[in-house]
């Protein structure tokens, strides 16, 4: 009787196990497979979405430290756009132009905050799709990347201490003996050589650093473009912008600003078409608004 009961019990357990799907196998016939497949499908959907999002983004590199062209702020006020990988936002003229281009391309704008020296490498490596950072389409840069049509043009100025000996300068030669600098790896720094007897100081990484150096008296002035000069003098009552009647000798490409794109990029023609739809009046209005909206610290 015990043997019969044991056999019957074993058979009963086998039947229950089969009905309940007790095995560890997860093939298509196992009830547990439906849950696993459902999870995989959700993951696949998320991955597909991420891939689609990547394709639908327009990644733009900029310093976010060259007001009024671009700057960093802590919220999305005045149209600020979130900076990738952090809690900060970018604002300024370049950001507004980037928005219009992204809209025209039907893509989501992504701002990638990048040091000036890292912008071209970021573009050539594919980390970003374009450089919109107040960059001039110089002959040297054109050897490595392509540029669109210009989206802004400006003149060179000098930013100095208000009330100082150089505020009333009319010619660049009035800066003979002055301690002058400009941003590293820009044509701004090279034109300093046109000033006879100038004390050409070491180039600096960015404009905030130059403003600090000017404030502290380390330098007597720095070369910049008019929008940044207006920005600097507006943000700091101790600064003045000097415009010249006898100024620096430059080429059109030196004082123009364009969008940097990869060599042979199909974006060039598309962006040119979008830029053509932005009138000079609108560009001026965007710049005036950027100057008014710039953070005081920039």
Three-state secondary structure call for residue 179: strand
7 CB neighbour count, 10 Å cutoff: 10
Quote the pLDDT of residue 42: 39
CA distance 93 to 290: 6
- pLDDT tens sequence across 239-260: 999 999 999 999 988 899 999 9
User: 182 near 188, Cβ under 8 Å?
Assistant: yes
Do the first three CATH levels of 58-153+256-293 and 156-242 match, i.e. the same topology?
Answer: yes
Class of domain 156-242: alpha beta
Q: What are the residue boundaries of the structural domains of the chain, listed by start?
A: 58-153+256-293, 156-242
Between 112 and 33, the more confident residue is 112
List, for residues 5-54, the tens digit of each pLDDT value.
Answer: 444 434 444 444 444 444 433 333 333 333 333 344 433 334 444 444 67
What local confidence, expressed as pLDDT, does residue 116 receive?
A: 96
159: its two tokens: 């930013």
Percent of residues, the chain, with pLDDT higher than 70: 82
Q: Assess whether pLDDT exceeds 80 at residue 217.
A: yes
Closest among 230, 276, 282, 226 to 255, alpha carbons compared: 226
Tell me what the mean pLDDT of segment 60-87 comes to: 96
Q: Look up the CATH architecture of domain 58-153+256-293.
A: 3-Layer(aba) Sandwich (3.40)
Burial label for 207, CB within 10 Å (0-12, 13-18, 19+), is: buried
| Average pLDDT across the chain, whole number | 86
Residue 232 burial class via C-beta count within 10 angstroms: exposed 0-12, middle 13-18, buried 19 and up: buried
* pLDDT at site 15: 41
User: Quick one: tokens of 165?
Assistant: 């000996």
* % residues pLDDT > 90 (the chain): 76
């Amino acid at each position: 009787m015990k043997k019969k009961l044991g056999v019957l019990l074993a058979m009963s357990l086998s039947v229950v196990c089969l009905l309940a799907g007790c095995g560890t196998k997860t093939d298509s016939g196992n009830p547990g497979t439906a849950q696993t497949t459902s999870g995989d499908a959700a993951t696949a959907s998320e991955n597909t979405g991420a891939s689609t999002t990547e394709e639908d983004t327009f990644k733009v590199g900029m310093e976010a430290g060259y007001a009024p062209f671009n700057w960093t702020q802590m919220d999305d006020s005045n149209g600020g756009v979130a900076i990738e990988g952090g809690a900060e936002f970018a604002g300024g003229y370049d950001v507004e132009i980037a928005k219009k281009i992204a809209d025209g391309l039907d893509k989501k704008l992504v701002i990638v905050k990048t040091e000036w020296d890292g912008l071209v490498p970021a573009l050539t490596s594919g980390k970003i799709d374009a450089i919109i950072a107040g960059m001039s389409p110089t002959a040297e840069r054109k050897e490595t990347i392509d540029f669109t049509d210009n989206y802004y043009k400006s003149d060179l100025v000098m930013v100095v201490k208000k009330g100082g000996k150089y505020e009333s300068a009319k010619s660049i030669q009035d800066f003979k003996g002055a301690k002058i600098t400009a941003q590293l790896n820009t044509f701004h720094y090279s034109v300093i050589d046109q000033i006879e007897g100038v004390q050409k100081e070491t180039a600096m990484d960015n404009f905030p650093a130059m403003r600090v150096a000017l404030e502290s008296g380390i330098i007597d002035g720095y070369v910049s473009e008019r929008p940044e000069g207006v920005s600097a003098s507006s943000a700091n009552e101790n600064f003045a912008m000097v415009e010249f009647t006898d100024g620096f000798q430059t080429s059109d490409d030196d004082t123009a600003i364009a969008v940097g794109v990869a060599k042979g990029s199909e974006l060039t023609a598309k962006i040119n078409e979008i830029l053509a739809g932005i009138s000079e009046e609108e560009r001026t209005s965007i710049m005036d608004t950027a100057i008014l909206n710039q953070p005081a610290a920039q």
